[in-house]
A and B are shown apart, each in its own frame.
Chain A
Amino acid sequence: MSSTTKASRIGEELWKTRVDKVNAELVTLTYGTIVAQLCQDYDGNYQEVNKQLEKMGYNIGMRLIEDFLAKSNVGRCANFRETADMISKVGFRIFLNIAPTVTNWTSDNNQFSLVFDENPLADFVELPDDGRAQDELWFSNILCGVLRGALEMVQMQIEAHFVSDVLRGDDTTEMRVSLVRYIEDEMPPEEE
């Protein structure tokens, strides 16, 4: 509990003092355009669109983590629960000004859900009415990639996917995050 409140405080402080703000509509429209363009480019192959969004997110995450660390000045998390709090209360807070709820932990503490009460990426969005987008497209899939990329850079291999989205008519927007393993220092093979 204390790590949660500590994370909240850090996130709050950073948001107020260190973060450059940008117009929310610009973000929403830019992201919406990207997704719409991908849907067009891949001719409505939504699986492929999901994959591309995840990949884009991955590349963002690998870079964004340095900004996160440089700004927040936080140390290494002691366990995955602390990591989850950091992601929600500091990460999402400073980059999107939201703090998704961390919930549904598995008993081994290796899997949790992020439940998004609000999602700035999806404001104004209605999925296409072609009978497939509602079932196949994960509109905010870029976020899964961001988490994967960012955590990989701090030696955590994770898997993230959406399990529900209010855009599809679900009650909540929920992302499932699972820790695959901690990446140990690995010697590059050519240094043998």
Chain B
Amino acid sequence: MTVFSLIIINKAGGLIYQREFQPGLRKLSTNDYLVLAGTFHGVHAITRTITPKLPLLTPTATASTPTSASSNLASPSGTSTPIPPTTTTTTTTTTSVAATTYTYPIPGVPATGLESLETDKFRLTCFQTLTGTKFLLFTDPHMANIEVVMKKIYEFYADFVMKNPFYQLEMPVRCEAFDRNMNGWLRGRT
């Protein structure tokens, strides 16, 4: 049940917060943390763009192609055409468009990018909010319910950082109440 440390990266890839929760952890230099944040931000973006995409064959596109073709064939025989006469031209365009459009395996759910990274000794869990801020939590690899911790940290962030009127958005977080509450809560859990 160990949370080692937390890093917060703003939506531009800048490091805005870094804290250890275990006494005596070896620290990196400030510059290394900045590089780590920037690098992670880049890798995260890359993992999003390399998400495999499937060719877009929406039900409507696949369905309309054969039906419109068949109805056009059927129309001379006297059956009513449900689709306007222009379909012949549009059919060809939709198929060509469909062939060049790609989508994620589950359309409507955007690609998230790197969510966790694990070694024998630690696990790094990344949670990106819808606003683009990333929370990186370094924990014991066997720790369970990381999402609960993550959610709580996000709430602390919303409360003590975002609601502090003197905190400037996207700038480094120096909010004492945020540290205090988070530390207290994490200590209470162990």
Contacts and interface: CB of A to CB of B under 8 A. Distances in A.
Interface of A: 62-67, 69-71, 73, 75-76, 78, 153-154, 185, 188
B108 interface: yes
B63 interface: no
A71 B108 CA distance: 23
A23 to B, nearest CB: 19
B163 A69 contact: no
B158 A67 contact: yes
A154 B132 CA distance: 8
Interface residues of B, number: 18
B115 interface: no
Contacts, number: 42
B131 A70 contact: no
Contact of A69 (B45, B110, B130): B130
Interface of B: 12, 45, 108, 110, 129-133, 151, 154-155, 157-159, 162-163, 169
A185 B132 CA distance: 10
Contacts of B157: 66, 70
A76 B154 CA distance: 17
Contacts of B129: 66, 69
A73 B151 CA distance: 8
Given A76-B130, A153-B131, A154-B131, A69 B158 contact: yes
B130 A154 contact: yes
29 contacts: A63-B162, A63-B163, A65-B131, A66-B131, A66-B133, A66-B154, A66-B157, A66-B158, A66-B162, A67-B158, A67-B159, A67-B162, A67-B163, A69-B129, A69-B130, A69-B131, A69-B154, A69-B158, A70-B151, A70-B154, A70-B155, A70-B158, A70-B159, A71-B155, A73-B151, A76-B130, A153-B130, A153-B132, A188-B12
